[in-house]
Amino acid sequence: MSRTRRLDLAEDALSEAFARASSRWRADGVPTNPAGWLYRTAHRQIVGWLRSEAVAARKAPLLAVRRDWVAPDVDGLPDERLHLILLCCHPALSPTSRSALALRLVLGTRTDEIARLFLVAPTAMAARITRAKKKIVQAGIPLAAPAKDELRTRLDEVCRTIYLAFTAGYTPGSGPHLLRADLAREALRLALLLRELVPDASQVKALTALLLLQHSRREARVKDGRLVTLAAQDRALWHEDEVQAGVALARSLAPAQGYAEALRLQALIATEHARTANAESTDWSTIARLYAALEALTGSPVVRLNRAVAVAEVEGPNAGLALLETLDEFLANHHRLSAVRAALAERDGDVALARASYQKAIALCSNDVEREHLQAQLRGLNEGVKRGVTPPT
């Protein structure tokens, strides 16, 4: 892209290179330098396309970048991917498009996965990303590297993009895999790099703390291909060095505003889970209070869903169910709303609601591992009813 300044060609050529790799590497084996092979293949594809475009040289560039952009340390940024995220978070693009564009173009996240993270339809997200690309062209946005003082104005969007990429790694949508630890690990790496650039930025510190704490549990999240809930996880498998680093960083954070405060509250919630030796010792009252503050700050329906779980631990399942009543309008197609409602209804003794909610969650869930977990929960409910066992309250 640095040679052609053509975002469309670069994206299409890389897709073509990956498609060729999937067929050729299967037959010929993986080359010694896979990245180099992909680069050369994509570059040759672009050259071929350019030769067929008689007017290519007169077309406006889709992305204005420095001539030396391919250098590994551009304008003090130690990573090309981080550099591109900053470019996609240019303030001239609409706030609703920046992170989505970065996830699609920089991290290769599928459009349907991005749509799920933003709680919108895939068609709406595809249109949003297309509009962002057209904006670059039509407005002639010079997406050059930001000056040092401009960097801080983009930190919220950069942090949001990195966090969304991390979330995509631990909550993948359709398919047989519950986790994509490689994507989450890359997001953490970018957060650590960003902290080296702006070590005093509160949102960056909070993001790093949160990702360290969440990523520390990666080995305990799945066992024998099955989902392991937080309460059932073997805490001996948690990475203690990351836990300690995350807890220390989270506790050092002062109250902030805006997105920095939202990240700080989430880091403190993760700290409450991480600092106890077992699930039974969890301070759910503090977690419920932190979620209430986070919901007041963000108005997020997903935050309320998580808050309902915490409130149920403190005040009982009926209190948690009450918090879910307004969420169908916002999370009607989100299987986790039905899954949480099913679990709380089962604890509350409402077998009919629990069964119906489990069935709805299973129908909405597109991930094989999560769906199997929900089916096991439903089987357990039905077997308990057959034996005449009253669900615990």
Pick from 128, 157, 116, 125: nearest CA to 302: 116
Pick from 237, 230, 266: nearest CA to 249: 266
Most confident of 31-40, 168-177, 301-310: 301-310
Q: Are 321 and 348 in contact (CB under 8 A)?
A: yes
**DSSP secondary structure string for all residues of 5-19:** --HHHHHHHHHHHHH
Pick from 208, 202, 186, 182: nearest CA to 84: 186
Q: Is the pLDDT of residue 90 over 90?
A: no
- Measured CA to CA in angstroms, residue 104 lies from 22, 60, 150 at distances of 20, 22, 23
Positive or negative, the CA dihedral 90, 104, 226, 330 is positive
Q: What is the pLDDT of residue 118?
A: 83
Q: Is the pLDDT of residue 247 over 80?
A: yes
The per-residue pLDDT for range 13-40, each reduced to its tens digit, is: 666 677 778 777 877 788 888 877 777 7
Q: Is the pLDDT of residue 328 over 80?
A: yes
Q: Is the pLDDT of residue 212 over 60?
A: yes
Q: What is the pLDDT of residue 14?
A: 67
Most confident of 70-84, 110-124, 224-238, 288-302: 288-302
Query: CB under 8 Å to 9, separation ≥6 — which residues?
Result: 1, 46, 49, 50
pTM: 0.75
Q: Is the pLDDT of residue 390 over 50?
A: no
Distance between CA atoms of residues 382 and 364, nearest Å: 20
Distance between CA atoms of residues 384 and 380, nearest Å: 6
Pick from 315, 325, 318: nearest CA to 344: 318
Q: Are 61 and 6 in contact (CB under 8 A)?
A: yes
Query: CB under 8 Å to 191, separation ≥6 — which residues?
Result: 159, 162, 166, 204, 207, 208, 211
Start-to-end CA distance of the chain, whole Å, equals 60
Provide the mean pLDDT of the chain: 82
Of 61-70, 268-277, 293-302, least confident by mean pLDDT is 61-70
**DSSP secondary structure string for all residues of 316-339:** -HHHHHHHHTT-HHHHTT-HHHHH
Q: What is the pLDDT of residue 113?
A: 82
**DSSP secondary structure string for all residues of 153-221:** HTHHHHHHHHHHHHHHHHS--SBS-S--HHHHHHHHHHHHHHHHHSTT-HHHHHHHHHHHHHHTTGGGS
What is the arithmetic mean of pLDDT over 30-55? 69
Q: Is the pLDDT of residue 175 over 70?
A: no
Q: What is the pLDDT of residue 106?
A: 76
